[in-house]
Chains A and B, each alone.
Chain A
């Protein structure tokens, strides 16, 4: 009996290996919509952007709806009013987002954001600016398992305790699968000022290409930290976020501009809670999600739930580059199989082009003598456009001015 059980034990263990899991589960919750959401900080000395939106129901297709607000302004404690910059569209046509020019605003005063919406008046709490800290440096480090890069920041101030929030704007260079040395122009297109008589395949000139692209986005996660528990207001190599080695963002050159704001303790708690509510839920020891109330209120009815937190800040920025040509860290996940197609003759070019293919290179027969024969027609290798034109993957050909790769 015992022997039999012992020999079966590994099988039992295998059976157990397939146990517990996290399943997709969408309870039938429709929920409510229409809570007012205010986003943006009062940035003294600069133009500040604010957006005013409404939340949407959980089952809605949209993540938000714009709110029709009016009379958006920043008020200073001495009575100065900074109105919304006019774009010519007012009232119900406003886009839910506005800008306020705060150049020349006195940093010694208290400020608040105020606006009206559907006949109700809203305002944020009066706050004064929190002086910022110095960003000493940013760095990155590869973890022991060589799977992630950790992006880190070091900062300090002369005060005893600080609360920090960061936003990150990422830009990265990436490439199409194949470099095309030729391109197709249909008959009638203008080439060097002249309309083309027939469909043509022409070589790229002056370094033009569809191979190198740049893409940018605001990083989504919330990044906050405090030096409450530290002996001084100094963060050393504080991890902001990590990038996985399969992340296409680090396939060539990656850059991030980090925008650091130093905020009040109250604001910090708000951001922390928002982070906790959106990431740290559902585990065995996870705290229960809790209600989030910012510093914006309906002046006439404080019971109305308004979401968002408006701080008065003085941001500092820092840019970091991570060049994969130096660290050789990126691992392509599931390299794409790139089909190639040899298109026989000119009459077939435009059909192939319309079907979403692009010429890449001249066909080179195994026996080069063939090309010397009279009547030889040059053939081209064609590839699907999304393997050739990097813009298909969301980026643009707009190379940022600061980009460290002058050769492309």
Chain B
């Protein structure tokens, strides 16, 4: 019967239309039918509910011969191939040319159970060569060309993961298949690549604060699949695998902490200014010497052993106002990632850690922005497309009106009576050349001016610019190339005495280039390799007269120029589902003109993982690092007079190694991560100073430096809950850090050549960061910090000399100041979720140091005449309430 109808139809239309009968299962079809004919055929044969707007310019014909069950999909696929879009809604099909039809909100917008209609089960086929764009779950996506399907083996699926609303790439999203055997993570461009067995697959996507997603895939061969994901509006309960815990059990790398901007914005900080660096300091293994210092110490290392990268550029001073605030505008950054143990081979140049701070990418759909008012700063940010879905920009700027704060700081804090101003501007431009190539341009400028009184002014500024090209040459070969320029300039001007008025300045300028290739060799091996070069131009000091009567003799220390070049290669070797190794080798070479000594050598980065099951694993790692640039400073904080010096014939590079091991377990339906990591670390040729060393404008600085070694070890315990109404982390760290002078300078050897406490040796450390969401609009955040007091050098005796009381000091760092404890609370009021509202307001009301504890920053003695008195400096010695107001538009 059906056969007769088909033949009739063919005759009526006057085309060569044939239906063929097959003995087993029937195949019918159309031959050389135009689009209108085809649709008519479909309406009659399959479903009357097909709405079609023909393209008059379309003269292509269709020949389709498949079994009846597959006919509809095949026909739609063919039409898509010719530029039509086919949309299914409520059992009806809409076929349009050159335009999209939105029929529904993305899946699960209101509720997972009422997810978008699953009516289009029959709508399936996307062509393999073309990158599919995922919009709905509960569909089967075909990857690869079904005509060239492989019988067995594996295929590579790659694509971008973006935010559904803004089109921003989503970084760090876990991509995994149902078997749990295959796993990948999106990179900074939102790009992922995963190897899957040919055939049916279920591919999961999950990321922090994003709705989890499961897609059904039919993999025929290599192909692309772009995915859009949506931020979670409702807190989900139940079993959800989060990217962080996935990553923990998949990757062999350890000691990596990532904090996203949403969490950063929730953590209460002093004055309520969301601050990425302050949040980094709440992570286990990260310590600071005190409040109001942005210099941080990672696993017993010094402050200059951290590489702070902002979009690939090095930030030498990541602080505003000498540490009250960090220099990263919270409105434009997406996340920060700290590598404190397994540092990938592509990074190098610092001993202790790498901190990556990344810009967000601008919204690719519409222009939007925000306005923020805090106690210290006002902020503005704008983002949006320049060319829709191709070119986006993001721009952020901050300025301060913070002079009032200096009237309240302690008289001895070096801040009081000061005036301070700062500005920073961030710019990010991204352009998608095509599916496989994108370029990104980043610019950053920050400027600080600070004066103690009318006659002394400090200034510093950072400038960074970089250009990045990301290219996917093929399924198995991608490249990221970056070139950039970083500049840090610092100066002090003192005009108190006109005859001795001077300006002292120093600077680090550097150009850098980095090229990185990533290539999965096979299922088991993924190779990454590349080249990294930094060309330094350091001005260690310039001293110039200011004004006409100044007797200051202009003096410039010789500029230091050098090239640090490094070749790196690393391989991730998945021996089995349980066992993974990550092995990297980096050869860094430091070339400085006029230097006769060989400065360079290999650095190894090894780590291994063994998983007992999906939720339990152990890891171990060993790293060596080399550092060729040193911060010259004799205060424990990052201070105004610090300068940078390069390794030379007399100053050796710092060399260090770290061995670490850890145990990881995920509990309670994958919502709670436990980790226990231990490490042992040694650093050689750390630079310390002789007593009375002249650090400023000293051409023979090397004579005043002493070679010191560092030994550090510790255990970090972390419980982290990333999902649910209550989220956050609790960590306890026990760690020690010691220094020892290695030269023998007789009686002058520091502490007689014995090990002594590093200034940041704080053995016990408890940190709690928690956020509890009462409703979608109200949440409460708490931050608790307890740490042992830091070691200090104190007087042990006194005497009378030169008409005044003088102090005899103990051996270095032999006493500890009292322990540190602080609790901060904040109430965050989010805007109402009215989609049509033009502006959204949010408030943060908080209190820093709720208990008002007078935490000591330092303990010191002053002598006045013959009197000696002991003091304690407490930077924020009372409750500091704050409000912060944000307007999004």
Contact = CB atoms under 8 A, between A and B. Distances in A.
Query: How large, as a class, is the contact surface on chain A?
Result: 35 or more
B857 interface: yes
A287 interface: yes
A183 to B, nearest CB: 34
A238 B871 contact: no
A284 B801 contact: no
Interface string A253-281: 00000000000000001111110011101
A269 B692 CA distance: 6
Given A58-B796, A290-B691, A37 B801 contact: yes
A239 B497 contact: yes
A20 B408 contact: yes
A167 B553 CA distance: 27
Contact of B875 (A20, A220, A236): A20
Contacts of A234: 551
Contact of A12 (B552, B873, B881): B881
Interface in B596-621: none
A18 B880 CA distance: 9
B322 A285 contact: yes
B414 interface: yes
B410 A21 contact: yes
Nearest to A236: B499
B547 to A, nearest CB: 12
A41 to B, nearest CB: 11
Interface in B759-809: 759, 792-809
Contacts of B411: 22
B845 interface: yes
B160 interface: no
B819 to A, nearest CB: 13
A283 interface: yes
Contacts of A285: 322, 414, 635, 637, 639-641
A47 B802 CA distance: 18
B587 interface: no
A32 B408 contact: no
Interface in A223-242: 229-232, 234-239
Interface string B826-852: 000100000000000101010000000
A368 interface: no
Contact of B801 (A236, A237, A293, A307): A307
A57 B640 CA distance: 35
A288 B553 CA distance: 29
Interface in A7-24: 9, 12-13, 15-24
A391 to B, nearest CB: 21
B876 interface: yes
Nearest to A274: B806
A12 B271 CA distance: 11
B51 interface: no
B237 interface: no
B879 A64 contact: no
Given A26-B870, A282-B858, A307-B808, A19 B863 contact: no
Contact of A220 (B809, B815, B841, B866): B866
Contacts of A232: 551
Contacts of B410: 20-22
B800 A53 contact: yes
B43 interface: no
A63 B691 contact: no
The residue among A20, A21, A56, A271 with the most chain B CB atoms within 10 A of its own CB is A20
A287 B635 CA distance: 4
Contact of B746 (A64, A269, A302): A302
A376 interface: no
Nearest to A231: B553
Contacts of B635: 285-288
B692 A220 contact: no
Given A229-B502, A281-B860, A285-B640, A220 B870 contact: no
A63 B872 contact: no
The residue among A237, A269, A286 with the most chain B CB atoms within 10 A of its own CB is A286
Contact of A238 (B407, B497, B750): B497
A1 B497 CA distance: 52
Interface string A207-219: 0000000000011
Interface string B480-498: 0000000000000000111
A288 to B, nearest CB: 6
Nearest to A286: B635
B439 interface: no
B5 interface: no
A284 B748 contact: no
A22 B871 contact: yes
Contacts of B746: 302
Contact of B802 (A54, A274, A288): A274
A239 B498 CA distance: 11
A5 B883 contact: yes
A18 B882 CA distance: 14
B179 interface: no
B870 A24 contact: yes
A236 B497 CA distance: 9
A292 B883 contact: no
Contacts of A9: 883
A291 interface: yes
Contacts of B793: 288-290
Given A20-B876, A63-B800, A308-B801, A238 B500 contact: yes
A140 to B, nearest CB: 14
B797 A230 contact: no
Given A9-B883, A222-B804, A229 B412 contact: no
B124 interface: no
A5 B746 CA distance: 64
A265 to B, nearest CB: 10
A401 interface: no
Given A2-B885, A220-B866, A282 B499 contact: no
B50 to A, nearest CB: 53
A236 B798 CA distance: 35
A278 B857 contact: no
Nearest to B866: A63
A35 interface: yes
Nearest to B852: A19
Nearest to A222: B802
Contact of B797 (A57, A218, A272): A57
29 contacts: A16-B408, A19-B877, A20-B410, A20-B875, A20-B876, A22-B411, A23-B877, A24-B870, A24-B872, A39-B802, A57-B797, A63-B798, A63-B805, A144-B454, A229-B697, A237-B498, A272-B692, A282-B858, A283-B414, A284-B290, A284-B323, A284-B415, A284-B857, A286-B414, A286-B860, A289-B807, A291-B811, A293-B691, A307-B808
Interface of B: 290, 292-293, 322-323, 404, 407-415, 454, 496-500, 502, 543, 549, 551-553, 555, 634-637, 639-641, 691-692, 694, 697, 746-748, 750, 759, 792-812, 815, 829, 841, 843, 845, 854, 856-866, 868-883, 885
